[in-house]
């Protein structure tokens, strides 16, 4: 379980879906300016059930269905945020966020800057991302790099229910626009890349406790999810679980860092770990070239060069569209991480 930065007591196991729903429930209750909308978000409660029951509880003025228009959803959300609301807008799959890209990049990200701080866009775009579900080309993508690249945006991705709720609440409260990427492979239970083994639900994870009420997990703070001395693995989302499994499988004393906030990120946590281990692997599902991993490699090189004992490795999706039949050839599972660890440790 990750470092919890806000003291909370009590709670029960939740799936990531329930945790996200709970975050929105808490914020809809606490702040009358919070509204949630998107395709199928209202009456039906979302195609992944993340907004289940919220419309019934808060009414159609607060939680509502939207036309199938991502630029419309994003543009309307920006207008609402400029008015003073705190919209939590859902894009049904991260793969479908591109029609909203102009609104996100040209508008949400820059509104504060270009207006000299006069207007701002305190909003959250929630969107399910990532593969490992036989989602094929348009239900599996990890587009985080194209958002992390944009000045003015915050890009966040949780890897467990506790963080999902705490990070979502923190994102809704944050005054900057947040791209909140939810690895849908983790919605119902953790997934370590061993697709041939049965998956256990979040309820079966002894340490999965999510408080019912309000708490936050701060943005810009990474979590050391597995301490180790041999090699640092920098990762986020589903591959946080892959990295831990790889370390266990190979019996390697790897330190696994879950970045949680991709950008702005927790550089101190990264530098401290890599200086300690002297070796680093960057792991993500997204395609390699100009992926977010490239930025992580560059940062490690800049800040830890004299402590590095081996070249920094990247384990990522291949530079191809996400295929269907070749799901497990594409997805960076534990075996590829183990190979990388061996290479890095050889040097």
Dihedral pair phi/psi, residue 308, rounded to 5°: -80, 135
Question: Which residue in 293, 180, 202 sits closest to 243, CA to CA?
Answer: 293
Task: Give the binding range for another protein (CB under 8 A) out of 11-19, 116-124, 155-163, 246-254.
Answer: 116-124
Looking at the DSSP bridge assignments, the partners of residue 310 are none
State the DSSP H helix or E strand holding residue 273, giving kind and residue range, or none if neither.
helix 267-277
Q: Does 175 interact with another protein (rule: CB under 8 A)?
A: yes
Least separation, in Å, of the C-beta of 89 and another protein? 10
Read off φ and ψ for residue 72, nearest 5 degrees: -65, -45
Strands across the sheet containing 63-65: 63-65, 34-38, 86-90, 124-129, 178-183, 154-156, 261-263
Q: x/- contact string, 94-113, with another protein (CB under 8 A)?
A: -----x--xx--xx--xxxx
Q: Which residues, other chains included, contact 14 with Cβ-Cβ below 8 Å and sequence gap of 6+? A: 22, 161, 165, 202, 208, 210
139 among known catalytic residues: yes
For residue 43, give both structure tokens.
């009456």
Site string for another protein, 253-272 (x = CB under 8 A): -----------x--x-----
User: Which is nearer to another protein, 148 or 225 (by Cβ)?
Assistant: 148
Q: Nearest-CA neighbor of 280 among 246, 305, 308? A: 308
Does 72 bind another protein (CB under 8 A)? Our answer is yes
By beta-carbon proximity to another protein, the closer residue of 180 and 330 is 180
Tell me if 169 sits within 8 A of 214, measured CB to CB: yes
Residue 276 Cα distances to 32, 241, 304, angstroms: 46, 22, 10
Q: Is 1 or 76 the residue whose CB approaches another protein more closely?
A: 76
What character string, x for contact with another protein (CB under 8 A) and - otherwise, covers 11-50?
Answer: ------------------------x---------------
Q: Angle formed by the axes of helices 292-304 and 267-277, to 10°?
A: 60
Stretch that binds another protein, among 81-89, 252-260, 283-291, 336-344 (CB under 8 A): 81-89
Write down the catalytic residue from 139, 195, 303, 342: 139
> Does residue 151 interact with another protein by CB under 8 A?
yes
Q: Quick one: which of 1, 47, 76, 294 contacts another protein (CB under 8 A)? A: 76
- Binding residue for another protein, selected from 11, 40, 49, 75, defined by CB under 8 A: 75
Binding site for another protein (CB under 8 A): 35, 61-62, 67, 69, 71-72, 75-85, 99, 102-103, 106-107, 110-120, 151-152, 154, 174-176, 220, 264, 267
Which residues are marked as active site?
139
């Amino acid at each position: 379980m990750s470092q919890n930065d806000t003291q909370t007591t009590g709670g029960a196991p939740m799936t990531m879906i329930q945790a996200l729903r709970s975050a929105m429930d808490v914020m809809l209750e606490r702040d009358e300016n919070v509204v949630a909308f998107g395709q199928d978000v209202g009456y039906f409660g979302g195609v992944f059930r993340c907004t289940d029951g919220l419309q019934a509880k808060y009414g159609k003025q607060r939680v509502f269905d939207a036309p199938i228009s991502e630029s419309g959803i994003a543009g309307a959300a920006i207008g609402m945020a400029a008015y003073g609301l705190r919209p939590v807008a859902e894009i049904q799959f991260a793969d479908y966020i591109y029609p909203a890209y102009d609104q996100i990049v040209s508008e949400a990200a820059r509104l504060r800057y270009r207006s000299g701080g006069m207007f701002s866009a305190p909003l959250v775009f929630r969107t399910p991302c990532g593969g490992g579900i036989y989602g094929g080309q348009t239900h599996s993508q990890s587009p985080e790099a194209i958002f992390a690249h944009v000045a003015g945006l915050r890009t966040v991705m949780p890897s467990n229910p506790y963080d999902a709720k705490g990070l979502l609440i923190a994102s809704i409260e944050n005054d900057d626009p947040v791209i909140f990427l939810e690895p849908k492979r983790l919605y119902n239970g953790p997934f370590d890349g061993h697709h041939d083994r049965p998956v256990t639900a979040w309820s079966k994870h002894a340490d999965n406790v999510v408080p019912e009420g309000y708490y936050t997990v701060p943005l810009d703070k990474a979590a050391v999810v597995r301490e180790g001395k041999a090699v640092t693995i920098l990762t986020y989302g589903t591959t946080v679980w892959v990295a831990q499994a790889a370390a266990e499988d190979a019996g390697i004393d790897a330190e696994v860092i879950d970045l949680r906030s991709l950008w702005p990120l927790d550089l101190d946590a990264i530098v401290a770990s890599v200086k300690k281990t002297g070796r680093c692997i960057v792991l993500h599902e997204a395609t390699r070239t100009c992926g977010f991993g490239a930025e992580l490699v560059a940062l490690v090189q800049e800040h830890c060069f004299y402590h590095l004992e081996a070249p920094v490795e990247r384990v990522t999706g291949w530079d191809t569209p996400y295929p269907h039949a070749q799901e497990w050839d594409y997805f960076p599972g534990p075996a590829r991480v183990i190979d990388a660890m061996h290479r890095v440790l050889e040097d």
